[in-house]
Structure 1
């Protein structure tokens, strides 16, 4: 016996691969709507009729909250195209017996790419060099000025400290090894020899003091908020760099700003910020030892293709009576 009828009704409000949506028509009556990036509830007048008829919903930025659930009496399964389904009211779905699947690691590869882009740009000062050149500062009477002004470090033989040995951290590790770097990883859930000869699993303070570059890839939860504070930053060498394409709240803002302002560390590369977007007068914009990107770690069409693939697998499993992977409330549903 299956969890869904042969022609269950599927509503997709997330950005979605058209090929994946087409493949799902063998099991579902599929309806897609133009994705909204507003982060509003799905309980919107223009979606009312479709939501009321939906057996399954795939969403990303839209909120599946109490109002949306009340407007979806037929709903039996949800896929959130997020690593964690933060846009879905999990307790409310659990009370209704609705499994909620996520799409873990959907952006792991491209976030690792962005993190390594920040590492390279920060240690080689490429962002600053480009701005300088675009402003017309490279003059014929001093062709070698940029060679001196933007002199940076190479990565080969240097040590990368990775906070978090999960999907993204492991991919960053592979990239670092290809550059000939030594790798340290801090992750309290990993055994010391978890990566064999590829990386050494160490304590946080050890990583901060030994690394030439530190990069953040831990999830944001109660144990990681403020994980890197003034004591940890003080352990970094003056010639070390700090990169964060993970979560801003992992780092104590005041401590990092002080270290950058006073040149206690060589510099930082940031894709995430404590206030997004940062205020126009944010001090970060005035610091010449900081590389900034506007939270684009997951900004890639490849993410849509990947989360569509994972969502398709989950929907097929559910529709054919199987067990979808990465159901966020599976334990709660099993015990209810």
Structure 2
């Protein structure tokens, strides 16, 4: 069957799905489950005969939304918070996985720009970080504690102040996605170039390893969460730019509803990063090397698994249940 004929034959049925999921058409869970079976069959057919078609993308999106609607209605004895982090967010991250990839690529490129600029222009570090911060860091390096800045203030005061700032930056990165993703890109430019410049300063002063041992105790989760927030911002902008079969307004509503959940999921990691920065990083210079490395690798592994591996496991598990 030609793709045009396939679409024409099933268009009304798919529109009914859309109304049941996104519109005002009320369906009980059993009816939704029945519709879902038909939808999965159509998706399988399209994947077989039109594998590179936009029809596959559309049906895959519709199937994932239908699944969430069914199990959000039918699940029993499941804590909503557990379901949110265990199933709902991973499925959404899988759905928007291309934007996670884009965010990491952009992060890497912009950070490299910061490093290269600092390396080739002696004034760049001070331009980006400011004279006072650079002078303070150089003094700390001379005193044998490159990350002494993290010892300033009380534990609780540092934790609250740092966490609030990180949440603010994350919120800006996400919500600025409404400007077609360009706002998110702007926030990434500012922060990534600072990160690259900041790390090059320590490299130039031959204390790179000492800085890594301190900064990345909290930085692993903090920076990773920032990239995921940027991915959510890019996906939000894309929902406006690329509405597919939906009206632009409906596409934005769906995009905001989904990406906001991804943004919310980063908050526990941001809080943990703030806790580590306020209470642990300040002791990194006196900490055994193996312990600082263990904390860095543990935090990086935890957040990497949750956003880069676990979503694929959840998606695969759901597909097996429905085959």
Provide TM-score, normalisation by structure 2: 0.26
Q: Which has the higher contact order (CA 8 A, sep 6+)?
A: 2
Q: Which has the higher helix share?
A: 2
Q: Which has the higher strand share?
A: 1
